Amino acid sequence: MSLPSPLSFVAKAPVVPVVVIERLEDAVPLARALVEGGLPLIEVTLRTPVALEALRLIAAEVEGAIAGAGTVINRAQIDATIAAGATFLVSPGTTPELTSAFTEAPIPIMAGCATASEAMRLAELGFEVLKFFPAEASGGAAFLKSIAGPLPHLRFCPTGGIGPANAGDYLALPNVVAVGGSWVVPSDAIRAGDFGKVRELATAASQLKRAAKFG
């Protein structure tokens, strides 16, 4: 099965910011800071009451942003986020029902997995880049390195417990196309309206080197 691929998106930057927006007024300046810092992919997690409207604002108002939705766990959220302007979707895991809904979605999906068997099944269904979550708790970079030999066709965007101290360990692996992380969007900086700090962290993250090849 051929599904829309997220590879052209994740090729643009080594880090996908995982964003939790508590106040709607933070959405646009936060996204602009990330784009200006070189991280155009923005995963707006559906964890707060304003998340959907925040996604809508970013998609409509922030030039250069590639806005997506994270923590997608059911079909209704797929429909709602696409209507809000999401250009990609990310899930923490993938139930059979969610998998079925994802295969019908018109935009790229990074479906979540935590084991080799889950990853193999999703790859068989046509998912090209998988979210490995929770990365550190599920074996970390060592796990992804160990399965690269027997399963070289699988590609991952690991998320969960990743920060500046270990992001390079993941990005050094050829089967890791990008990493997801919240360290570039610290909650204290957002609460203080310090989007300059976000821009600074995004700039540093955008310069991380990765071993994965695209195309």
Q: Which residues are catalytic?
A: 43, 131
CB 68 within 8 A of CB 89: yes
CA atoms within 13 A on the CB side of 120: 7
Beta-strand relationship, 109-113 and 130-132: parallel
CB 35 within 8 A of CB 199: no
d(CA 44, CA 110): 14
Which strands form 88-90's sheet, in the order they lie side by side?
A: 156-158, 130-132, 109-113, 88-90, 66-70, 41-45, 15-19, 179-181
Degrees to nearest 5, angle at CA 66 with 62 and 72: 115
d(CA 37, CA 56): 21
